[in-house]
Amino acid sequence: MKFLIFGSTGLLGSNLLKVINEKNYSVGVISLNSVIGYDLSLLEREIVRFEPEIVVNAAAITNIGVCHDNPMEAQRVNSVIPRDLVKILSKYQVPFVQISTEAVFLGETKGKIYSENDQANPKTEYGRTKLKGEQVTLDSQIGLVIRLPRLFARRAQIVATLFDRIHNGISVSEENYSTPVIASLAAETIIEICLSFLSNKFPRNLLHVTGSDIFSMYELIWNLSDNSQRKKIRPVKEDFFPKVKGRGAFLNGGLSSNAGFVIPFAHSLNRFHEE
């Protein structure tokens, strides 16, 4: 089995790479930095040279403020790269998996759970550009879109930042909801889906992979903490924090999965303490 991963240095991409290596599959990697400003013909030659059996695009600009301030760059990475990959891979009939996000939903209703059947209606530039990447993938004959909720890991992104500061006390939003999954388990599930996708086992080309429980960010951090750390966590309303440009309420709900790709939070919690 030969995978080609775009965005292999990010939180999800690095975990996908780890899972693929553990399973002793062949893998090629292309980082986000190397595809910014790429030449389409050169990109095609690189893909043809590697001869992948499936391509997974985990490359994205996910920071909502960056997307708001740099809409052209967000469009290029989150929308145009998927479009160009679909164009190239369709010529060679190579299956393509586009990783997307819960941010394609409006997210204005506290605690709302969105299924694959719900209408996407993003409020942020991040969500809008990711939705365009979805649409070009779903319009193709080779594509599968996998939407994810908030991903976390012990040593990466916001969770790592909060735990680095927890000894001094931290304020965490009690109004910012998702159905979180630890990144390593999400990666394992995605690789299983890829193998099934290659076997034509999916009647649909849009899937959600999600956690079993909906948590505010405060509830997530509280559950990941030990008793001594919990005394240092203060729940606050969202307006406690400075307003982020272009943010909208894109993380105020969560995902369900019609296909049953639901990872129990207890499994994510156990994996977190193993990391």
Least confident of 68-72, 106-110, 157-161: 106-110
| Helix, coil or strand: residue 51 | coil
169 phi and psi angles, rounded to 5 deg: 90, 135
Alpha-carbon distance 272 to 267, whole Å? 9
> For residue 165, what are the domain limits?
2-274
Alpha helices in 8-111 (DSSP H): 11-22, 32-35, 40-50, 64-69, 71-75, 81-92
Least confident of 123-127, 196-200, 239-243: 239-243
Cβ pair 78, 61 in contact under 8 A: yes
User: Cα-atom radius of gyration of the chain, to the nearest Å?
Assistant: 18
Q: Which residues contact 255 (CB under 8 A, 6 or more apart)?
A: 102, 113, 114, 115, 147, 148, 149, 179, 208, 209, 210
Alpha-carbon distance 229 to 213, whole Å? 22
Q: What's residue 43's pLDDT?
A: 86
Note the pLDDT tens digit of each residue in 250-275: 467 899 999 999 999 999 999 999 98
Note the pLDDT tens digit of each residue in 40-57: 888 888 899 999 999 999
Q: What's residue 64's pLDDT?
A: 86
Tell me how many domains the chain contains. 1
Note the pLDDT tens digit of each residue in 84-140: 999 999 999 999 999 999 999 977 777 789 999 999 999 899 999 999 999 999 999
What's 206's domain CATH number?
3.40.50.720
Q: What's residue 152's pLDDT?
A: 96
Q: Which residues of 13-51 are buried (b: 16+ CB within 10 A; e: fewer)?
A: bbbbbebbeeeebebbbbebeebeeeeeeebbebbeebe
Q: What's residue 33's pLDDT?
A: 66
Q: What's residue 123's pLDDT?
A: 87
